[in-house]
């Protein structure tokens, strides 16, 4: 189905015909390119405001690469709603992409998805240097600013330059985010959550993050950016927490559920096992883990009630870096119950009845994140096998 769109993807990007392009500053195709997305959720406007601010400053400084500011859900932004018909940031799976591109009649988010999908591939086709994709968000609860990434080493290396907490493993719990799709293409893609939807600090944090990203990508020289001030802004906002965390639990909300988060929780707040967190269909929801509450839901729309995260020890990060670089996962298919589903894309199929001795932490160290496909089988995805690591050296 993607081949049917080839002639569309190869057309010149025309900002007069594409309302999603807030701005673009294009340089030589071999230089670095940073693409900022904002407003994928229409009630998250801090990133949009920050991109408008950065657009003005980019006119005054020399750039050593290309920069794009892309708006997401235009209709939802007008109405200040997360989405109209369905979440635009949950449509980016292979099956959904194929389905949407084949439809004659599309809803509001599907129509905008097609526009963004075409634009994304036009940008990729146009540039052959390192590409960095950054999605700017805010949350419905109070929070420290933080980064979310799919667990690939190229994402880790770029993310750890920013003085904010970094949360791994989002791809195991969310189906169809934009950044997960981009990561399957092999490029660096990170999400930045700058704070509460309505917080003034959220705009300031986004602006600081955008400026640092341009410096760290090699597009803006440090002498043209107040790096110390931007870093200090993020350090203070994040309470000087600069650790890696990992998601261990998601409270899902299905259609028809009556979910209400208990008041007062904020992201990165420590909780004990057994803490009362919410009500789901009039039943009390108690935490099954000790850890930190993450992105508790305080808005009507959304299918993720809350996450629980835990701190990742530095020795595990170092160990995983070593074993991934030596491709230690190559021996996995020699073990019973584990076979390649798609080797080129780094996807394993695991029979849980046979491979009972394998646990999530082992797969995580080797670079695999799991998604259950049946009571007896898992698909394991390895971002390292598709990552364009040489592009970022």
* CATH number for position 202: 3.40.630.10
Cα dist from 9 to 34, 116, 278, whole Å? 19, 11, 45
Same structural domain, 215 and 289 = no
Q: What is d(CA 304, CA 267) in angstroms, rounded to the nearest whole number?
A: 14
The CATH number assigned to the domain holding 259 equals 2.40.50
Same structural domain, 144 and 169 = yes
Same structural domain, 144 and 180 = yes
- pLDDT computed for residue 341 by the predictor: 87
Last residue of a domain, one of 295, 311, 327: 311
DSSP string, 50-103: HHHHHHHHHTSS--SSEEEEEE--HHHHHHT-S-SSS-GGG--SHHHHHHHHH-
Q: Which residues contact residue 85 at a Cβ distance below 8 angstroms, ignoring those fewer than 6 apart? A: 107, 108, 109, 110
Same structural domain, 93 and 211 = yes
| Domain containing residue 83 | 2-237
Same structural domain, 125 and 274 = no
Domain count, the chain: 3
- pLDDT computed for residue 56 by the predictor: 86
Phi, psi of 102 (to 5 degrees): -95, -5
- pLDDT computed for residue 393 by the predictor: 81
Same structural domain, 265 and 140 = no
Last residue of a domain, one of 193, 208, 237: 237
Q: Which residues contact residue 7 at a Cβ distance below 8 angstroms, ignoring those fewer than 6 apart? A: none
- pLDDT computed for residue 17 by the predictor: 62
Q: What is the pTM of this model?
A: 0.90
Same structural domain, 268 and 155 = no
Q: What is d(CA 379, CA 185) in angstroms, rounded to the nearest whole number?
A: 18
Same structural domain, 377 and 327 = yes
Last residue of a domain, one of 270, 286, 311: 311
Q: What is d(CA 353, CA 336) in angstroms, rounded to the nearest whole number?
A: 10
Same structural domain, 248 and 141 = no
- Report the chain (393 residues): mean pLDDT per 10 consecutive residues: 42 60 96 98 96 92 96 96 96 94 93 95 96 96 93 95 94 90 95 93 97 97 94 97 94 92 94 96 95 92 92 92 83 84 84 74 80 75 88 89
Same structural domain, 38 and 90 = yes
Query: How much is the CA Rg of the chain, to the nearest whole Å?
Result: 21
- pLDDT computed for residue 342 by the predictor: 85
- pLDDT computed for residue 108 by the predictor: 96
Same structural domain, 42 and 187 = yes
Same structural domain, 338 and 191 = no
| Cβ pair 332, 287 in contact under 8 A | no
């Amino acid at each position: 189905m993607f081949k049917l769109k080839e002639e569309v993807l190869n057309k010149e990007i025309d900002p007069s015909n594409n309302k999603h392009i807030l701005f673009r500053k294009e340089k030589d195709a071999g230089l670095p390119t940073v693409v900022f997305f904002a407003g994928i959720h229409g009630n998250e406007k801090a990133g949009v405001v920050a991109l408008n601010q950065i657009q003005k400053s980019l006119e005054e400084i020399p750039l050593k690469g290309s920069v794009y500011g892309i708006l997401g859900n235009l209709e939802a932004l007008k109405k200040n709603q997360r989405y109209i018909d369905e979440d635009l940031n949950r449509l980016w799976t292979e099956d959904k992409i194929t389905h949407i591109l084949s439809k004659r009649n599309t809803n509001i988010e599907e129509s905008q998805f097609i526009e963004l999908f075409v634009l994304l591939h036009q940008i990729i086709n146009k540039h052959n240097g390192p590409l960095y994709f950054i999605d700017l968000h805010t949350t419905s609860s109070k929070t420290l600013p933080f980064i979310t990434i799919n667990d690939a080493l190229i994402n880790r290396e770029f993310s750890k330059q920013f003085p904010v907490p970094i949360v791994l493993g989002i791809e195991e719990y969310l189906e169809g985010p934009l950044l997960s799709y981009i990561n399957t293409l092999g490029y660096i893609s990170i999400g930045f959550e700058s704070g509460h939807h309505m917080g003034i600090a959220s705009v300031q944090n986004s602006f600081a993050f955008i400026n640092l990203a341009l410096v760290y990508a090699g597009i803006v020289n440090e002498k043209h950016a107040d790096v110390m001030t931007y870093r200090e802004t993020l350090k203070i906002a994040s309470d000087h927490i600069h650790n890696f965390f990992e998601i261990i639990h998601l409270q899902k909300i299905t259609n028809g559920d009556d979910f209400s988060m208990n008041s007062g929780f904020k992201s990165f707040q420590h909780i004990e096992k057994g803490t009362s967190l919410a009500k789901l269909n009039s039943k009390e929801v108690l935490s099954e883990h000790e850890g930190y509450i993450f992105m508790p839901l305080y808005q009507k729309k959304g299918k993720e009630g809350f996450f629980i995260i835990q701190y990742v020890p530095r020795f595990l990060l170092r160990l995983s870096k070593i074993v991934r670089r030596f491709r230690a996962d190559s021996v996995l298919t020699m073990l019973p119950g584990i076979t390649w589903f798609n080797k080129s894309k780094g996807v394993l199929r695991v029979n849980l009845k046979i491979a009972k001795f394998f646990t999530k932490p082992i797969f995580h160290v080797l670079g695999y994140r799991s998604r259950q496909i049946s009571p007896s089988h898992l698909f394991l995805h390895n971002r390292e096998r598709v990552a364009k690591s040489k592009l970022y050296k």
